[in-house]
Amino acid sequence: MKLTSNISGLRTALRAVTLSTFTILTFGLPTFEAKAETAAINNTSHDDGGNQRINYSGKLRMLSQRMPAAACVIAYSGNSESAVQALGAASVEFGKILISLRDGNPDMGIIGAEKRRNTLAKLDEIKVLWEPFHAAINDILEGKNIDASMKYLSENNMALLGAAKALVTEESAEYSNPAELTQADALLIDFAGRQRMLTQKIAKESCGVETGNAPLGSVDDMKSTISMFEMTLGALRDGMPAAGVKAPPTDEIHNSLVAATEHWTETKSLLESIAGKGSIGSEKQDQLFDLLTQGLKEMNAITGLYTEYSKSAN
């Protein structure tokens, strides 16, 4: 179906722009992706910015899903200012991280240019995928070639996510220092961090269902991602000792997870409407995008709390 012909207000909104499978059974040994979410706490006496390299390479995963989610909302409603701002900011951030990981960026804590051949190869792979992806995003932000650009993002975002995951693995192998983390804390930070990406994957898939854009996501895709999110949220909030997940170690983390659960209840009601009816309309789709953005912010803050706890506990 044609996603949009209504882009009135898009240019006005643009001026405001400032810039997978995962299941509970993966609970076990920390993976290299776990290190990506936790490496920011690994401060060594010979800091070469490796911790920030891993941190920022991990962030590319979430951005790979946030961009098509925001683009879909724009293509559908044509005048969602929050989605326009999100797409513009995510695109700028993705490009900045990619350049900084190669060339270094002291302001971001990335010291010196990358010299490792394998890591440079992974960065090159992302760059090849990113250039046409970025061009499609720019077209959407400029209000042109909407349908063709949305088609490209829909069909290629999972390849970008896969390349970002591969970079996380490579950066983690090269730079992380897992001796400074307990296995239990690494698991907690990994799962909290993955929740951020899942909020944006849900946003993408729900918009795919709403617009009939199957490559972005089906009802089954959305339900599967929701199940992952809820299972992990419950394990973090209540603990799951049999899977190696301990209960929240501080009252602040516990209270933040309870608040995130309450917020999720409102979000899920809209998702259930989409799953049942196949459509909730552009206004409520905008509302859902904003709710999932709030969920992203909450899980980002919770990941930070786990990281800070790990610093003090180890």
Question: pLDDT, tens digit, for every residue of 60-99?
Answer: 989 999 999 999 999 887 767 889 999 999 999 999 999 9
Kindly report, residue by residue over 258-279, the tens digit of the pLDDT. Answer: 999 999 998 999 999 999 988 8
Asked if the structure places residue 295 within a domain, the reply is: yes
Asked if the structure places residue 186 within a domain, the reply is: yes
Residue 289: predicted pLDDT: 92
Asked if the structure places residue 234 within a domain, the reply is: yes
Q: Residue 192: which domain range?
A: 10-313
Residue 45: predicted pLDDT: 41
Asked if the structure places residue 101 within a domain, the reply is: yes
Asked if the structure places residue 5 within a domain, the reply is: no
Distance CA 226, CA 292 (A): 12
Q: Is the pLDDT of residue 257 over 90?
A: yes
- Structure-token match 């009135």, residue found: 8
Asked if the structure places residue 1 within a domain, the reply is: no
Q: Is the pLDDT of residue 159 over 90?
A: yes
- Structure-token match 């929701």, residue found: 226
Asked if the structure places residue 280 within a domain, the reply is: yes
SS3 23: coil
Distance CA 59, CA 61 (A): 5
Residue 79: predicted pLDDT: 66
Number of compact structural domains in the chain: 1
Kindly report, residue by residue over 294-306, the tens digit of the pLDDT. Answer: 999 999 899 888 8
Q: Is the pLDDT of residue 26 over 70?
A: no
Q: Is the pLDDT of residue 121 over 50?
A: yes
Asked if the structure places residue 2 within a domain, the reply is: no
